[in-house]
Amino acid sequence: AQSVAQPEDQVNVAEGNPLTVKCTYSVSGNPYLFWYVQYPNRGLQFLLKYITGDNLVKGSYGFEAEFNKSQTSFHLKKPSALVSDSALYFCAVRDADSNYQLIWGAGTKLIIKP
Amino acid sequence: GAGVSQSPSNKVTEKGKDVELRCDPISGHTALYWYRQRLGQGLEFLIYFQGNSAPDKSGLPSDRFSAERTGESVSTLTIQRTQQEDSAVYLCASSLAGGPPGELFFGEGSRLTVL
């Protein structure tokens, strides 16, 4: 069965430190992978995606993610966290049996402390 | 408009009442999705519209839920005889058909509270 796992409900990081939000997936075929961010009382915003090519993908707000095929992971990273990065982060993978369905992780709450 | 617009932003209703939620997608976006987000949980797919094709209703949780969309414009999600478990944020998203896969544009959601 196709699935996305975000093993951490919450991640706490001090401002200025590097951050990682973890995502692993299970999907048949080549995965299309995505990260979205949800700020408080706002809709989700697209951050970045991996379709093909370089395993390190750069996105909005200084975020990047590394696709690791052998570990079936797509962890979100940022070298230096800002308090304004505090939000809910969702990982998603495109359903291999559909050209429009996304399978969503449960989300990880990222808290950046000053 | 500039983005996906949803209304109402908040709705409090009594159990058993019907509610209607509205989504106005980005102009030119032929694909439209409805999702449900319960507190502390991920997104639950409800329904997908693509142009004039038959919608994918596979995510609708019961026959109390229905959605309509006329052409490539506004969509309404209707919940009849609401139950307390329907309390959630209902998110609408749109995208370009044939556009970058998976890049959805979301509205800010309609928060439904059923008392």
Whether A24 has a pLDDT exceeding 60, the answer reads yes
Whether A33 has a pLDDT exceeding 80, the answer reads yes
Of B4, B42, B48, the CB nearest to A100: B48
Mean pLDDT of A6-19: 97
Q: Does B31 touch chain A (CB under 8 A)?
A: yes
Give B99's pLDDT tier (boundaries 50, 70, 90): low
Whether B1 has a pLDDT exceeding 60, the answer reads no
Q: Does B91 touch chain A (CB under 8 A)?
A: yes
Span B67-78, pLDDT tens digits: 999 888 899 999
* Contact between B107 and A51 using a beta-carbon 8 Å cutoff: no
Span A85-105, pLDDT tens digits: 999 999 999 877 777 888 999
Contacts of A45-49 with CB under 8 Å at 24 or more apart are A45/B106, A46/B103, A46/B104, A46/B105, A47/A76, A47/A89, A48/A76, A49/B100, A49/B101, A49/B102, A49/B103
Higher pLDDT residue, B39 or A66? Answer: A66
Position A71 scores a pLDDT of 95
Least confident of A26-30, B60-64, B83-87, B99-103: B99-103
- A74 forms beta bridges with A67
Mean of pLDDT over chain B: 92
* Contact between B42 and A100 using a beta-carbon 8 Å cutoff: no
> How far A106 CA lies from chain B's nearest CA (Å)?
4
Mean pLDDT of B72-92: 96
Of B50, B100, B106, the CB nearest to A100: B50
Whether A43 has a pLDDT exceeding 90, the answer reads no
Q: Are A107 and A89 in contact (CB under 8 A)?
A: yes
Compute the count of residue pairs across chains A and B with CB atoms less than 8 Å apart: 51
Test mutation, B29, B30, B37, B44, chain A, max A CBs within 10 A: B37
Among chain B residues, the shortest Cα distance to A41 is held by B108
Span A53-77, pLDDT tens digits: 899 999 999 999 999 999 999 999 9
Give B40's pLDDT tier (boundaries 50, 70, 90): confident
Which secondary-structure segment (H or E) carries B33?
A: strand B31-37
Position B98 scores a pLDDT of 67
Test mutation, A46, A74, A89, A108, chain B, max B CBs within 10 A: A46
Which residues of A sit within 8 Å Cβ distance of B?
32, 34, 36, 41-46, 49, 51, 90, 92, 94, 99-102, 104-107
Position B78 scores a pLDDT of 98
